[in-house]
Structure 1
């Protein structure tokens, strides 16, 4: 008989579990890939765990223009082929450098394409790479990590802008926890395809492009400003190929050469405005003749410059500092954090998942005591049956915890069908620290904490990426149903549970201790009799409850 409730060392602080590696301090080689709308970038780094820090030992970049969508909103076949070939080269390079892991993330283009998931499956089959799809705000968070790995903010507020092919990330921080994250569907490839048909651009198209950018970026800019204190002075940092290209043009014009590296180079809004006006008057051939200008960049540079100019103007910043570290390096930092290799200046990021989930629960007014009880109950059940009825590990345990904390979020919308509302709120709540696939699992587990069982005809269930995730949702939701039943009245009627698994008879005994001496917990036991059926069917075990007084 094992007492599993409460579980203070794990249930109260489920995030994260540091890798128990006896060689934790050894040097390591890691490859990080950013599958963007315009380009696929990879950095290969050597991690000096004893510092901890990393140095970039090689880079790979190819402009594949995934954002050249077909008319039906799909990634085009040509774009997917270019992407797959580029990823094959990335993997080959990473392996030649003896990378122990390759971490890849996909952003705007793959997020939005109708066949984005199909593309990721093709990459898995043809390249052997698993790519994590991340939301815009998660992209912004990792950009922040990447910038912090290369710059000191000295406790002063810095805005960071990253202009991609399909979206622009704008965020605010001082070097500690971020204050603000945003992602807006305004990117250099997207805007060029939509608004630029003349070469050089006509005055009419330029005016419309500028007005559109201002209208789309203004909400994010104003929201960022609200996170500043009146006495604070904002500094601006720029990342991404578009901004570096603009910086190179300005540097060549001002200095007569382009610094190598560009990291730390500064230019003013006035210099940017001068170059934006130059670019709008040049046709493609003339832009191609500019220094540091590739053919693909020449096609989209004007739209990128307009995004930067309008954002700087609205922010009221007169200068910008280049940081060459961004999303790819942020992926590296996130990997290091998840393995316990960083414990000092960015220690706060280790708990980003837990803080994000709790913030969402507070936002949707999920009562704290009941949600914590259900989380404790379900983690206890998970721990007691691990190795007996299932072999899921810490990663799956974290997802179960998040689903337990948020399973009743749907009450924020309506009591009726609140489990379905919980799915919607979790799926669209932009939880930080998770991939899109992980968020889908959390949302589905919460969705099935009551009422109907998972069915292939349900749209949300079909959204799960593969059979592994569907099996995971089935099993975790079955556990969550049991835990929800144990707190049926939401008053903490059950003080503790002891589990006793009889492997010969395939019976899991629940020895329940009431919190109140004269309470027979009839409501909880009645609800458990119904909610346990899915658990019993999946695990082929009988669950028997005993009320111990």
Structure 2
């Protein structure tokens, strides 16, 4: 089992590298054909034929901080993860200062991608989508780096828009939204950007649209994440004053959130919960649960009250760097980043104080898998279309 991912249920096997797919901006609720078309290892089956359930699908997410891969097989009500990989590479290290990806960071990412390439090949994956997010979007040498990745690993990654990233997060977490609520405020705190999405369940779905991503009312992508914020303010020694400075920086960004006043009213009315997908919120949940070792199965789907979140925020901000390293749900790789993530979350919570928070140890990769499998019609014969449940 990888440190914060899935336990592979079978041994890895061989296949071919993925080919590129175009990436274009499009509406969050209704992705364009270019956005819906993932990279693939070989030509996709004819549109009118659903993919066989034996087909393996893969989703790779190269972010500012992590390189993550999931390989899964469709099941009647979702999919089964058969292999996974996650490694902290800090690709976006220093990008906020220099505007460029550093050589050491690129080397770390390429090394991780070679592992992913081997897993894709060993498993014989037939359908894959391989994406890069904020680090490659914002760095002036991001596209050049992806050419190097293609040359050295055979993997063709697409740089996705912030809109696409927001939609994929919703697709990946859809089954964790309380259907009896008025909706959810989803946040995804990344390394270089943070997505915030209002899913409004009070408005009826139009026609036969059933995807949760079709219920997105509005969204925003904040140009800040745990890597960029900690680089600006410091991540090892974080005083109360430093923490408040980070919160204030993010709070200023939230002033421009679309339909902010309407969201204020929805939160005040109650029955709208937060849904968090990021290392920050899963860390909070792990500490809340008192885990001796991080356990995704216990963390994913956990509910926390506002008071419980407050207690955990106070616990984490009260830890010094050594204590954060020693905590089994944080560790050395996240110890200098977790308080920046807490500051981003705190800014969101102060602006929109929802009384419930649900924790998701899932996100972009699961969203990619759900969208590819839906596009291939793997669940068409099932009377109960799922929302991204894994097993």
Q: TM-score with structure 2 length normalisation? A: 0.76
2:100 maps to which residue? Answer: 74
Q: CA deviation at 1:258?
A: 6.0
Q: CA deviation at 1:149?
A: 4.9
Q: Does 1:103 align with 2:103?
A: no
Q: CA, structure 1 residues 143+282, in 2 after alignment: closer, same or farther (shift >3 Å)? A: same
2:67 maps to which residue? Answer: 40
Q: Does 1:29 align with 2:65?
A: no
Select the residue among 261, 264, 287 that pairs with 2:301: 264
Give the distance between the partners of 1:259 and 1:41, measured in 2 at CA.
15
1:182 maps to which residue? Answer: 220
Select the residue among 212, 218, 233 that pairs with 1:195: 233
Give the distance between the partners of 1:23 and 1:146, measured in 2 at CA.
21
Aligned to 2:368, the other structure's residue is in SS state helix
Number of aligned residues:
331
Select the residue among 192, 195, 204 that pairs with 1:166: 192
Select the residue among 118, 121, 130 that pairs with 1:92: 118
Alignment of 1:103-122 (within 5 A): 103-122=129-148
The question of whether the paired residues in 2 share the 8 Å contact of 1:33 and 1:104 is answered with yes
Give the distance between the partners of 1:346 and 1:194, measured in 2 at CA.
45
The question of whether the paired residues in 2 share the 8 Å contact of 1:251 and 1:257 is answered with no
1:245 maps to which residue? Answer: 283
1:236 maps to which residue? Answer: 274
Structure 1, unpaired ranges of 5+: 1-13, 348-549
2:86 maps to which residue? Answer: 61
Q: CA deviation at 1:205?
A: 1.9
Aligned to 1:299, the other structure's residue is in SS state coil
Q: CA, structure 1 residues 281+333, in 2 after alignment: closer, same or farther (shift >3 Å)? A: same
Q: Does 1:300 align with 2:326?
A: no
Give the distance between the partners of 2:350 and 2:307, measured in 1 at CA.
10
Q: CA, structure 1 residues 186+23, in 2 after alignment: closer, same or farther (shift >3 Å)? A: closer
The question of whether the paired residues in 2 share the 8 Å contact of 1:168 and 1:183 is answered with yes
Please, what is the CA RMSD of the aligned residues? 3.0
Q: CA, structure 1 residues 322+203, in 2 after alignment: closer, same or farther (shift >3 Å)? A: closer
Q: TM-score with structure 1 length normalisation? A: 0.55
Aligned to 1:60, the other structure's residue is in SS state strand
Q: CA deviation at 1:36?
A: 0.6
Q: CA, structure 1 residues 338+257, in 2 after alignment: closer, same or farther (shift >3 Å)? A: closer
2:207 maps to which residue? Answer: none
Q: CA deviation at 1:220?
A: 2.4
Q: CA deviation at 1:151?
A: 5.2
Give the distance between the partners of 1:166 and 1:94, measured in 2 at CA.
27
Per-residue CA deviation, residues 411-469 of structure 1 (Å, 9 max, x unaligned), is xxxxxxxxxxxxxxxxxxxxxxxxxxxxxxxxxxxxxxxxxxxxxxxxxxxxxxxxxxx
Q: CA, structure 1 residues 309+229, in 2 after alignment: closer, same or farther (shift >3 Å)? A: closer
Compare relative contact order (CA 8 Å, sep 6+) and give the higher one, 1 or 2: 2
Alignment of 1:268-287 (within 5 A): 268-287=305-324
Q: Does 1:145 align with 2:171?
A: yes
Give the distance between the partners of 2:384 and 2:91, measured in 1 at CA.
36
The question of whether the paired residues in 2 share the 8 Å contact of 1:251 and 1:258 is answered with no
Aligned to 1:37, the other structure's residue is in SS state coil
Aligned to 1:169, the other structure's residue is in SS state strand
Aligned to 1:28, the other structure's residue is in SS state coil
Structure holding more helix per residue: 1
Q: CA deviation at 1:155?
A: 6.8
